[in-house]
Amino acid sequence: MQSTFDERNWLSWLVKVRILVLTLLLGIQLAIVRLTPTRLPLRLFLSTILLWYTVSLFYVLLLSLWKEHRLQASLQVLTDLILVSLVVHETGGWDSSWNFLYPLVIIVAGILLPRVWAHLVAALAFILYGAVLELNYYGVVRSYCSSHPELKALQGIIFVNLFAFLTVAYLASLLVAKLREARVELKDASGALEDLQILHENIIQSISSGLITTNLDGRITLVNSAAQKLLECTPAQLLGKPVTSLFLDALPNGESRSHAEVRFDAAGGFRKTVRVRVAALNLPERGPLGYVYALDDLTEIRRLEREVRMQDRLAAVGRLAAAIAHEIRNPLTSIAGSVSMLSGIPALGEEHRRLLDIVTRESQRLNGIITDFLAYSRGKKYHFDKADLVRLLEDTLTLVRHRMTAENTGITIECRFAAPEAWVLADGDKIRQVFWNFAENAIRAMQNGGNLRVAIERLGNDWQVSFADTGTGMTPQQTEKIFEPFQSDFEGGTGLGLAVVYQIVQAHEGKVWARSKPGQGTTFVLRLRRLDAEKRGVGTPLVENVGEADMQAAPSAQLAAVGAEGRPRG
């Protein structure tokens, strides 16, 4: 197929060169006719040139219709020989300067046809040229020669041209053979280079770590598929872009430090942590050409480390709460009772009564904190059964709407449910508590009104529920600790609501996280496994009692945070 393609290109090239040469020689000949006296039959000459043009255009059309390119090459060479002989005859025979076209035709035959054809065409050119001279010499045809050489001189001219034709044929065939050998070697070398390039690309694309190469200016020149997946960008979005613009932290420079952990904001809004290793890209002859960056995703590892640390803190808080809650409640009850009795003394003044009211109110608040402590630290019982998240959400949001109407909060709720039903295996009451805490935090974050968007969507084998508010938002540090106890700055909040949410989600083997940016609100996300994706049978409800120890062993909830300034939720 490649050979056919090359022959076709050569034939197309031959037609173009033929037309160019004819046009050039025609112009020169007409100038000679105008400037010097000549016996040239101008009308016959122009007719021959016009015929040559016509034949060339015919071969252009034939090239697109007839696929036998080898036969077309033979016809064109033979046609050129005949027309060259006519032109030589019309321009003076042995006086003609157009006989140099014979070697050109021989060279073309050596290029387009097998090697032996160059010698055959040379012999045929000799026969045609000799025939033209002999016919002119003996007057068989009309001669347009301006001189009449002797027979021996004529024979000398013929044999000199024979030697020239054979020499051109030999050199042309030899040169073409060398060119073809070089072309085959070049094709083999190109094939080997292409295979090596494909192997190189396969190796680069198969590396599990992300790989980025840059030039000395730091602009990206190559990105493998692992890096594209990690950065969640296409090559068109990355190539030519400064590599430093992708990350929030400074990259290693390969001199003072060769690796570092950096962060970047992915397209989905999540912030990822990446370990970057850098090395100079050098060639022995040319020196440094750029840099190679290897990327490893540490987001999940760092998340698990944070979660382990948080679980340790939660366990410590739980043990502390269980140990001291009762010890605090007993004297607190005595204090509250004593203050109540003192408040009944008629002789107390207004200032004393106001102080006693403060003591009573603060005692009640402290009692509420102790109650939350006990609820957080005690083992919880869960009743797992089929539950519809859509219905649980609608029940919760109905209560939330009534409350917001009564308090005139100025907050609107938008719901977007991707399915009419979203079945999971869960404790419905506990999930309602999770939803209520999400809504409660959103309402507290929007003191001046706003919009709460609640959505349910299907993601793989999970149902994802999201509560997105338009409140003040949070910093990354606050978001990272949002599910730890006592992280609330809300007035009157104990900071245990979202810690309880975290426990509940752990018990359901789900995932929960928050993402936030300063001034752009906060989104709480809950993921639970779809009922039809569970390994257990759908038709057999399961009742389990899950205590604190069970929750510690359950798969942990995912914590991922993207955000900035704001108030932590409680």
533 and 389 in a common domain: yes
315 and 276 in a common domain: no
Helical spans, DSSP H, in 91-150: 101-112, 115-137
In whole angstroms, give the CA distance from residue 475 to residue 516: 7
459 and 542 in a common domain: yes
Query: Partners of 528 in the beta sheet?
Result: 463
Q: What pLDDT is attached to residue 6?
A: 62
In a domain, 69, yes or no: yes
| Phi then psi dihedrals of residue 222, to 5 deg | -150, 140
Q: What pLDDT is attached to residue 143?
A: 78
Q: What pLDDT is attached to residue 548?
A: 34
Strand order in the sheet with 411-417: 411-417, 450-459, 462-468, 522-529, 511-516
Higher pLDDT, 494 or 96: 96
Does 544 score more than 80 pLDDT? Answer: no
Q: What pLDDT is attached to residue 57?
A: 84
Residue with tokens 């308090």: 407
Quick one: average pLDDT of 203-209?
Answer: 84
Higher pLDDT, 373 or 335: 335
Residue 510 token pair: 């789900």
With 0.85 as the threshold, say if the pTM is over it. Answer: no
500 and 435 in a common domain: yes
- CATH number for 331: 1.10.287
Quick one: average pLDDT of 232-242?
Answer: 87
Quick one: average pLDDT of 185-212?
Answer: 85
Give every CB contact of residue 283 below 8 A, 6+ residues apart in sequence. 289
3-class SS of residue 538:
coil
Q: What pLDDT is attached to residue 469?
A: 93
For the chain, how far is it from start to end, CA to CA, in angstroms?
74
Does 267 score more than 80 pLDDT? Answer: no
437 and 290 in a common domain: no
- CATH number for 487: 3.30.565.10
Q: What is the pLDDT of residues 22-56, one digit of tens each?
A: 888 888 888 877 777 777 788 888 888 888 888 88
In a domain, 363, yes or no: yes
Does 475 score more than 70 pLDDT? Answer: yes
Quick one: average pLDDT of 566-570?
Answer: 35
Q: What share of the chain is helix, strand, coil (3-state, %, to 5)?
A: 55, 15, 25
358 and 393 in a common domain: no
In a domain, 130, yes or no: yes
Q: How confident is the model at residue 317 (pLDDT cuts 50, 70, 90)?
A: low
Quick one: average pLDDT of 304-321?
Answer: 73
165 and 64 in a common domain: yes
In a domain, 40, yes or no: yes
Does 501 score more than 50 pLDDT? Answer: yes
Q: What is the pLDDT of residues 348-391, one digit of tens each?
A: 777 777 777 788 877 777 777 777 666 666 656 788 999 999 99
Q: Quick check: 125 and 106 in contact, CB under 8 A?
A: yes
Q: What is the pLDDT of residues 413-443, one digit of tens each?
A: 999 999 999 999 999 988 999 999 999 888 8
Q: What pLDDT is attached to residue 386?
A: 92
Q: Please state at what angle helix 2-35 crosses helix 69-90, rounded to 10 degrees.
A: 10
Does 84 score more than 90 pLDDT? Answer: no
36 and 166 in a common domain: yes
In whole angstroms, give the CA distance from residue 357 to residue 389: 44
Q: Average the pLDDT over each of 83-87, 313-317, 427-431 and give the range with the smallest value.
A: 313-317
DSSP annotation of 529? E
Domain that includes residue 24, residue range? 2-187
Does 554 score more than 50 pLDDT? Answer: no
Question: Which residue, of 127, 157, 187, is where some domain finishes?
Answer: 187
Residue with tokens 């366990």: 315
In a domain, 194, yes or no: no
Q: Average the pLDDT over each of 89-93, 421-425, 562-566 and give the range with the smallest value.
A: 562-566
In whole angstroms, give the CA distance from residue 14 to residue 20: 10
Q: Among candidates 560, 470, 550, which has minimal Cα distance to 512?
A: 560
In a domain, 232, yes or no: yes
Q: What pLDDT is attached to residue 536?
A: 46
Q: What pLDDT is attached to residue 283?
A: 78
% residues pLDDT > 90 (the chain): 10
Q: Among candidates 76, 89, 169, which has minimal Cα distance to 121?
A: 169
422 and 549 in a common domain: yes
Rg (Cα) of the chain, in Å, rounded?
A: 47
Residue 32 token pair: 């000679």
Does 464 score more than 90 pLDDT? Answer: yes
In whole angstroms, give the CA distance from residue 355 to residue 530: 55
Cite the beta strand spans of 174-270 per DSSP E: 210-215, 220-223, 259-265
In whole angstroms, give the CA distance from residue 503 to residue 523: 19
Quick one: average pLDDT of 191-198?
Answer: 85
Residue 70 token pair: 């080898």
Does 570 score more than 70 pLDDT? Answer: no
Q: Quick check: 272 and 264 in contact, CB under 8 A?
A: yes
Residue 154 token pair: 């004529």
Q: How confident is the model at residue 1 (pLDDT cuts 50, 70, 90)?
A: very low
183 and 41 in a common domain: yes
103 and 213 in a common domain: no
Does 535 score more than 60 pLDDT? Answer: no
Q: Average the pLDDT over each of 215-219, 267-271, 374-378, 387-391 and give the range with the smallest value.
A: 374-378
Q: What pLDDT is attached to residue 407?
A: 83
- CATH number for 225: 3.30.450.20
CB-based burial of residue 520 (10 Å sphere; 0-12 exposed, 13-18 middle, 19+ buried)?
Answer: middle
Number of domains in the chain: 4
Q: What pLDDT is attached to residue 489?
A: 58
Quick one: average pLDDT of 135-152?
Answer: 79
Q: Quick check: 125 and 108 in contact, CB under 8 A?
A: no
292 and 162 in a common domain: no
Q: Please state at what angle helix 299-342 crosses helix 497-507, rounded to 10 degrees.
A: 130
Q: How confident is the model at residue 546 (pLDDT cuts 50, 70, 90)?
A: very low
Residue with tokens 């900071």: 495
Question: Which residue, of 268, 297, 326, is where some domain finishes?
Answer: 297
In a domain, 199, yes or no: no
Indicate the average pLDDT of the chain: 79
Q: Quick check: 535 and 509 in contact, CB under 8 A?
A: no
In a domain, 222, yes or no: yes
